[in-house]
Amino acid sequence: MKKLIIIPAVILGLLSYTSTSAQDALADSGDTTEVALQDEYTSVAVEEVPQPVLDAVAKDFLGAQVTAIGALEDKSEFKITLTKEDGESVDVYADAEGNWITKDE
């Protein structure tokens, strides 16, 4: 009966050691993975975007086509994807008052 209890304990110990050894090997190799935290923007209709934001886009990005608009849950910040006349796609960010926000990417 004691052997039945010891065998699973030994197996569990070996599995834990193997997992820890693999993590240590990755840490020692210098390989790192960076995970960028992103704000959660959900798609919104143009009708849901405050007029100051729409005015800022029209004024500062004359000739650009709005291809997508996202907003934070509380609609305090908007992510607007634009396609400029030269075909370049760019994401711009604004608060609900139409002030541009600079994001470090």
Q: Supply angle C-alpha 96, 47, 53, rounded to 5.
A: 30
- pTM score, whole prediction: 0.61
Confidence grade of residue 104 (pLDDT, cut at 50, 70, 90): confident
The per-residue pLDDT for range 31-84, each reduced to its tens digit, is 544 444 456 899 999 999 999 999 999 999 999 999 999 999 999 999 999 999
Domain ranges in the chain are 1-33, 42-101
- pLDDT over threshold 60, residue 1: no
Tally of CB atoms within 10 A around 69? 21
DSSP-derived secondary structure letter, 49: S
- Domain 42-101 coded CATH 3.40.1420.30: yes
Residues forming a β-bridge with 71: 42, 78
- pLDDT over threshold 70, residue 3: no
- pLDDT over threshold 70, residue 100: yes
